[in-house]
Structure 1
């Protein structure tokens, strides 16, 4: 279907990473805006009827998005929060999930309306130095997340092999998922989404099996098993399954292995997602025209090399891995503004979004959420560094980094506000001239 005139500019700047990708787009992947490009004869003033078929088209990407809440890093964080604080932090988990849903909806809106992803749009909207800095921050966030995911998979493989495969061996096995990703991608995105659905179902069945197998009574259920125990302060991915095994035993299959299967599914699904995200980050920010397998190897190496170093360094120390996980969570927290602020600026930009730009109320709520997230993370980082950072040299480095960090955030916010004001002025000027 031909694209309507008011939406053609949204796709005019689309770029491709290879000639094959452009050819595929031309032949099979024309961007379709639901409710806009269905048929020229439709009444565009009316909301199209609900369609299960259209909903199903968006279900696959939803599976990929759900991995963000199920990766090994989050599993460990949830275990530790429950073991130490019981139910007292559930309100925080609820609101964090709600805010995450809002951000995901804005990301989906940006992609559907423009046919492009955040990295591509940032490449066009920001000067080169800012674009490169945003790319570095995105890569650091990806590396931090990938280390957690790969280590989680390696721990699961070590458990399932009864310790025969060391941690570094599990990292090597997990690193091969980039080839699995490339193989599956040849069969189309829908097949890749189906694999994610299978892995998520495996997680669900594993953890449900654990719940049924342990048969916790009501009191134990209200206590989330680790809360108030001696192990509460040191619970992690490596010892959680062993503790459950010792406390509850197991039926046909020991709980330790059920835990490991669920953990492996979580790790593999999230590492595949990381490989997928790495393609968009590098290709979008740098506009590299490389073969997919070359780009996958490069982006995978960014995460696998530091992960291998971590695996060799912490092979025999589970407690150190837990401390490392805390530092990795800090690393990812500080990267949030560098994706969130550009996203909010772009979805508020009428020149980019056209009629799909967010309204005043949603804009205010979104910026309020962004400010709240940055304030919470700032407070947590201040508390974390005040207890962990010692020595004048380290303190000086952290202070310099903090100053540069805050300055870049201010630049991103001010650029978005300035551009929005200029656009509003030009719009009002044009309206005045047409009235005259």
Structure 2
């Protein structure tokens, strides 16, 4: 197997492994059966499909799918269901499909180059640009983590019957980084199995709620198949699409796929890995779509058309369900809380995981994983504890905070999507695995749609929140700099081939 390496733009030399931060050391990777077996028909031939190999490749896609099931997404689902009924289920399905496309491109980048997105941004962009991208990625991660930790803390508060306040739930949730470090010591597969249990917990909890509330099957099917949108549900529609693409998740998936051994000297083996990752990621996001569908349908059935529909959020959703459907075999309040806790815990742990790759990739840090996890967890937990102490007494204040955090993450989306699309389009980076013209057009259209939708969210939010000459001037100046930086990223990406006339070392060695 070839070492993880890439050519430097400055001197065309291959740096030693010890000088580079890597997503996974060689001893941490999952060994794939037959990886070193000779290809009798040539290195470009893709080996036949194997269920056993698919099982060995299964894992990264499910970790990635957790970002589609975090508390922020669940809140978007329940609000869309309560306010718009079943009418936005079709949008949830297509938004998930768009998210799948973006994540498959992220996986393609990581598998083909042996580098993840943060590393390639550091290598391909000027230093000042990569530093800005790093700061933006960290801000997006902190924003997502606050939502996830608060969601988990809300679940802990409910399950403890209010004995543990919100800030105490935050402290309990903060300890999840130790769970991550503990499981990492036992190998990648143990970590993936733990997340599989959390996803299964969410699936069972929300399926149970679905069975308790008995949503209308015909309306559900029509909601999935027939596009419908009204002026009254625009905000919920924007929320459904906007929370599907998570900036830190784009960085994360390109690193997760490097947890398997891949023989980069054989084009067929690389294509084989891409095929298996495409299958497992698709299955993972189908499952996440079904879970999100359960949540949206439950709240559509329970609260659509009621006076309280517009006031439902994560904090009071379980209580409203309890008041409407009572106890039953197991109180629906606790079923909801268990699902919410699984969503919060799993997403905060993957957030810590993503933070390690983002910091290590952009800064090329060589430090122990426990120290890096402690640093990245502290960056999010400290502001989250402050938030919990300030907002614990007011549900309305938590809703306002959530809106600001959604805005923060929406601002960061172009800084993950644009570099990704520029890099996967370039032969100098991807070799023969660059995306073709048709896929490139579709990918850019999806990216443009997501950016425009989130731009609408930003415009709607700031138009209602920005008052006063000074504040307006600051926001306008920031908007100008923001748009200029986006244009610069696109320009730099499209002119990359003129500056970098070489293939990555792995692909070059593989062609020899």
TM-score (norm 1): 0.89
Mark the runs of 5 or more structure 2 residues left unpaired by the alignment.
Answer: 9-13, 221-296, 504-512
Task: Note if 1:401 corresponds to 2:478.
Answer: yes
Q: How does 1:23-172 map to 2 (within 5 A)?
A: 25-27=25-27, 29=29, 39-172=38-171
Counterpart position of 1:179: 178
Counterpart position of 2:278: none
Aligned mates of 1:2, 1:134 — CA distance in 2:
30
Aligned mates of 1:421, 1:107 — CA distance in 2:
23
Task: Note if 1:308 corresponds to 2:385.
Answer: yes
- Tell whether the 8 Å contact from 1:17 to 1:290 is kept in structure 2 after alignment: no
Aligned mates of 1:137, 1:421 — CA distance in 2:
27
**SS in structure 2 at match of 1:312:** helix
- Relative contact order (alpha carbons < 8 A, sep ≥ 6): 1 or 2 greater? 2
Q: How does 1:222-241 map to 2 (within 5 A)?
A: 223-241=300-318
- Tell whether the 8 Å contact from 1:314 to 1:320 is kept in structure 2 after alignment: yes
Cα shift at 1:216: 5.3
- Tell whether the 8 Å contact from 1:143 to 1:302 is kept in structure 2 after alignment: yes
**SS in structure 1 at match of 2:59:** helix
Task: Note if 1:274 corresponds to 2:274.
Answer: no
Aligned mates of 1:36, 1:219 — CA distance in 2:
48
Aligned mates of 2:215, 2:446 — CA distance in 1:
38
Residue 251 to residue 46, structure 1, CA distance change in 2 (3 Å): same
Cα shift at 1:42: 3.6
2:376 equivalent among 294, 299, 311: 299
Cα shift at 1:368: 1.5
**Alpha-carbon displacement from aligned partner over 1:237-268 (angstroms, at most 9, x marks no partner):** 11111001000112221111111111000000
**Alpha-carbon displacement from aligned partner over 1:328-370 (angstroms, at most 9, x marks no partner):** 1111111111011111111112122111111111111111211
- Tell whether the 8 Å contact from 1:31 to 1:115 is kept in structure 2 after alignment: no
Cα shift at 1:14: 7.9
Counterpart position of 1:287: 364
Residue 214 to residue 353, structure 1, CA distance change in 2 (3 Å): same
- Number of residue pairs matched by the alignment: 420
Residue 388 to residue 342, structure 1, CA distance change in 2 (3 Å): same
Aligned mates of 1:161, 1:198 — CA distance in 2:
22
TM-score (norm 2): 0.76
Q: How does 1:328-367 map to 2 (within 5 A)?
A: 328-367=405-444
Aligned mates of 2:109, 2:205 — CA distance in 1:
35
Aligned mates of 1:75, 1:129 — CA distance in 2:
36
- Tell whether the 8 Å contact from 1:234 to 1:319 is kept in structure 2 after alignment: no
Aligned mates of 1:138, 1:218 — CA distance in 2:
41
1:259 equivalent among 336, 353, 365: 336
Residue 146 to residue 13, structure 1, CA distance change in 2 (3 Å): farther
**SS in structure 2 at match of 1:225:** helix
Q: How does 1:211-230 map to 2 (within 5 A)?
A: 211-215=210-214, 223-230=300-307
**Alpha-carbon displacement from aligned partner over 1:303-349 (angstroms, at most 9, x marks no partner):** 11111111001111112111211111111111111011111111112
Cα shift at 1:396: 1.3
- Tell whether the 8 Å contact from 1:203 to 1:266 is kept in structure 2 after alignment: yes
Counterpart position of 1:247: 324
Counterpart position of 1:190: 189
**SS in structure 1 at match of 2:86:** coil
Which deviates more, 162-171 or 203-212?
Answer: 203-212
- Tell whether the 8 Å contact from 1:152 to 1:267 is kept in structure 2 after alignment: yes
Aligned mates of 2:395, 2:319 — CA distance in 1:
13
Structure label with greater radius of gyration: 1
Aligned mates of 1:35, 1:409 — CA distance in 2:
44
Aligned mates of 1:378, 1:277 — CA distance in 2:
25
Cα shift at 1:70: 0.5
Which deviates more, 266-275 or 38-47?
Answer: 38-47
Which deviates more, 215-224 or 124-133?
Answer: 215-224
Residue 13 to residue 214, structure 1, CA distance change in 2 (3 Å): farther
Counterpart position of 1:431: none
- Tell whether the 8 Å contact from 1:35 to 1:47 is kept in structure 2 after alignment: no
